[in-house]
Structures are given as C-alpha cells and as structure tokens.
C-alpha cells in the first residue's frame, strides 16, 4: 500500500479543505475516505458514495472534488452546513440488504461517529435510505434515514422540484416567460430525480424528450408522461429548448458544447462541466447555464429543513421555489458584470463563506 502515498500526496497538494480521514478496512477490503472541506457555516454535510474504483486514488479524488462542491452548494442554498463527502471504495458493490453490505456500513458508521459531528453523512451514489438506517445504528450523525427510523426519507423529490423551479427561472431569463407549455425539454437520465422531474415538466405542459442508458426505464417514464424516447448517444446533438442533464457528470466539455442544440442547460447532475473553462464556452455559444450545485440543491434543502431546522411543508415549498429566485439573481449578476453564470454562483457562495453566515 506504500505505493499509494505519492498518489495521495499529489491529490491533496491541490486541495484547500480542512480534513481528510482515510481508513483501509481490512476485513471488508474497503477504502473509506471522508472529506471535510469546510465547517465555516456548520458541520460538513454530504453523501456517502459506494463504488468500485480501478484504484483507491480515484476514490480519494472523488472525495476531494465533491466535498468542495458541497461547500459551495450548502452556502448557495442558505443552509447552516459546510461541505463534506465520503467514499466507500469497495472491491464490488454488495447487493442492497446483503450481510456484506451491512458489515461495510456498520464499520463505516463507526468511523463517522469517531468524528463527533464534524461530518454528517447522507445518501449518494449506490446508497439510499435503507443504508442510512444501518449507519444510524452506530451514529446519530446521519441524515436521510427512512421515515420509520425518524428520518425524512428519500430527498430525490426535493431535488426534482428544485430543478423544476430552476428550469422555469432559466427559461424566464431567455424567453421572458416562466411558462413551459410547449417548451421542448430533453431529460438525460430518468432515475430517481429525472423521473420525478419529468412528472413536473409534463404537468407544466412541456414536450419531453427522454434518454437513459436503461431504455426500458426511459420507455416507462415516456409512457407515463407522454414523452418521446431518444437514444443516449444522440442526446448532445438533439435539438431542444432546455437540456436537463440528470445522469453522469462532465457532460459539458470542449468536445460536446459545440454540438449542443439548446438555449438552456439546467439539470440535476453533479459536476456537469468538464472543466472550469467550459462555462465560458457555453456563454460564447449563447447557452444559459444554470450552475449545477445551485439548481440541484433541493436534496440538501430537504434533509436539512425536515431533519434539523424544523420546517413545515409550506416552508419547504417556499425554500425549494427559492432555488429559482437564487438563479435569477445569478443570471442577473452574470449579465451585469459580463461574467459566466458559474463565476456569479461562485461569488455568491464565497461571499456567504467569507461572512460566515449561511443566511
């Protein structure tokens, strides 16, 4: 394992966070990484990703990148949390409910508990409410448990509704109207968030184009909302008004941006830009980009609001709708100052971090 040290050193040298906790769990052959990027606004909160990586350093790289993004997400969402993330780099992802999965989660929960609240975990890729229930057996520093276990359940509905409000805000900015009747929206990825987003868009009268690597899943959503299924490999060049990436990240790159045929990019996926320069490429093409960590913050708003801030349904609806208002301010700042929407979003988050005040 000593050969990993130079790799880890190289990754950490460019990271500006507060703390990295690393543990190799021999009995489960799992690398456990917890990244506490910032506690300026409160405990670092972010999901736990379970994934098989080709090398442990790839898992650490995810933690560093994603924990930093969570700091900006929490700040932009006016929440009393900092940014954190965790990765369980497993040899293979155990099936849900299996004894192997339970063992990993319990041993990981002990690690989270040893941090005494500096990091608060939640669900992420390949984890969900049942996994948070298991983690909750060993630590209280967890959000997103099932309702039966005192949590708020799956935050995907909050994410989807927040993205819907963000799309309406972005469309208002480019067209002058937030009405989506007849607007062509291409949803890439109809998983737990994209599927619910399609419902909201369909109810608003949008014409939906749907793509997913699981064609059966796309067809099921299309049948319910009256949309049209398109092939995943044709997504980028398909003409639409709004492109909503709700699957993998790094979909907006120097290779794909010239091929886009849309006026707006606004979706739920994390880390949509391949690099920082790609926001400028979108602006040069006249495509309005809704910064991902702003528009997809509904999940953390759901978790914090219901589980730690005591919000009722009316407050939750208002705060999710507020995502659209935050984006409207970001779009206005970008126009007024001649900067990208990504830079305008970063300025907003950094200002709140500098003030030490989430509100």
CB-CB contact of 30 with 70 (8 Å): no
- Over 70: is that where the pLDDT of 6 sits? no
Q: How wide is the angle at C-alpha 24 spanned by C-alphas 22 and 29, nearest 5°?
A: 145
Tokens of 190: 């109809």
Q: How far is CA 182 from CA 59, 203, 240, 241, 287, in A?
A: 42, 11, 11, 10, 19
As a whole number of angstroms, the distance between CA 162 and CA 242 comes to 16
pLDDT value of position 7: 67
- Residue 220 annotated to the active site: no
pLDDT, tens digit (0-9, with 9 covering 90-100), for 50-67: 999 999 999 999 999 899
Q: d(Cα 145, Cα 313) in Å, to the nearest integer?
A: 18
Domains of the chain: 4-71+80-149 (3.40.50.10860), 156-355 (3.40.50.720)
pLDDT digits (tens, 9 = 90+) for 9-54: 777 877 889 999 999 999 999 999 999 999 999 999 999 999 999 9
Position 5 pLDDT exceeds 80: no
pLDDT at 119: 98
Give the tokens for residue 295. 């528009």
Per-residue confidence (pLDDT) for residue 12, from 0 to 100: 80
Average pLDDT over residues 250-279: 94
The pLDDT value recorded for residue 249 is 79
pLDDT on residue 1: 47
- CA-based torsion, 347, 352, 356, 358: positive or negative: negative
Strand ranges (E), the chain: 19-25, 30-38, 44-51, 82-89, 119-123, 184-188, 207-211, 228-229, 242-245, 264-265, 288-289
pLDDT value at 336 more than 80: yes
pLDDT at res. 356: 84
Summarised one tens digit per residue, pLDDT across range 126-139 is: 999 999 999 999 99
Structure confidence by residue, pLDDT tens digits, 63-93: 998 999 999 999 999 999 999 999 999 999 9
Query: What is the per-residue pLDDT for 359?
Result: 55
What's the pLDDT at 8? 72
pLDDT digits (tens, 9 = 90+) for 148-195: 999 998 899 999 999 999 999 999 999 999 999 999 999 999 999 999
* Residue 189 Rama label (left phi>0; alpha psi -120 to 50; beta): left
Q: Burial letters for 241-273: b for 16+ Cβ neighbours within 10 Å, e otherwise? A: bbbbbbbebebbbeebbeebebbbbbbbbbbbb
What percent of the chain shows pLDDT beyond 70? 97
Give dist(CA 166, CA 160) in Å, integer: 10
Q: Looking at 51, 73, 85, 220, which residue is catalytic?
A: 85
- pLDDT more than 90, % of the chain: 91
Provide mean pLDDT across the span 103-122: 98
Contact 339, 333 (CB under 8 A): yes
Tell me the torsion sign for CA atoms 232, 234, 239, 244: positive
Higher pLDDT, 347 or 10: 347
- Residue with structure tokens 């100052």? 337
The chain-wide mean pLDDT, for the chain, equals 94
């Amino acid at each position: 394992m000593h050969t990993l040290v130079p790799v880890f050193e190289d990754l950490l040298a460019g990271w500006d966070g507060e703390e990295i906790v690393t543990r190799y769990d021999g009995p489960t052959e799992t690398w456990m990484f917890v990244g506490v990027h910032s506690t300026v606004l409160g405990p670092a909160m972010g999901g736990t990703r379970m994934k098989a990586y080709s090398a442990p350093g790839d898992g650490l790289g995810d933690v560093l990148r994603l924990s930093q993004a969570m700091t900006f997400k929490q700040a932009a969402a006016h929440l009393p949390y900092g940014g954190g993330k965790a990765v369980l780099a497993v040899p293979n992802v155990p099936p849900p409910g299996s004894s192997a999965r339970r063992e990993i989660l319990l041993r990981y929960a002990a690690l989270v508990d040893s941090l005494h609240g500096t990091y608060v975990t939640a669900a992420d890729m390949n984890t969900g409410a049942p996994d948070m229930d298991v983690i909750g057996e060993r630590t209280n520093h967890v959000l997103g448990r099932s309702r039966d276990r005192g949590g708020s359940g799956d935050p995907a509905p909050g994410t989807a509704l927040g993205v819907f409000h963000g799309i309406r805000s972005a469309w208002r900015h480019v067209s002058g109207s937030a009405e989506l009747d007849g607007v062509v929206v291409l949803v890439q990825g109809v998983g737990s968030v994209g599927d619910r987003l399609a419902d909201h868009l369909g109810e608003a009268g949008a014409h939906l184009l749907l793509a997913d690597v699981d064609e059966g899943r796309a067809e099921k959503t299309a049948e319910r909302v009256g949309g049209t299924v398109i092939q995943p490999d044709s997504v980028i060049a398909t003409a639409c008004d709004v492109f909503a990436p709700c699957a993998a990240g790094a979909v907006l790159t120097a290779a794909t941006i010239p091929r886009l045929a849309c006026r707006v990019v606004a979706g739920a996926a994390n880390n949509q830009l391949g690099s920082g320069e790609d926001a400028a490429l979108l602006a040069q093409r006249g495509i309005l980009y809704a910064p991902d960590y702003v528009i997809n913050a509904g999940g953390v708003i759901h978790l914090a609001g219901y589980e730690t801030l005591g919000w009722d349904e009316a407050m939750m609806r208002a705060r999710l709708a507020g995502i659209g208002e935050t984006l409207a301010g970001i779009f206005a700042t970008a126009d007024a100052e001649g900067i990208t929407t990504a830079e305008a979003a970063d300025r907003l988050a950094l200002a709140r971090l500098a003030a030490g005040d989430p509100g």
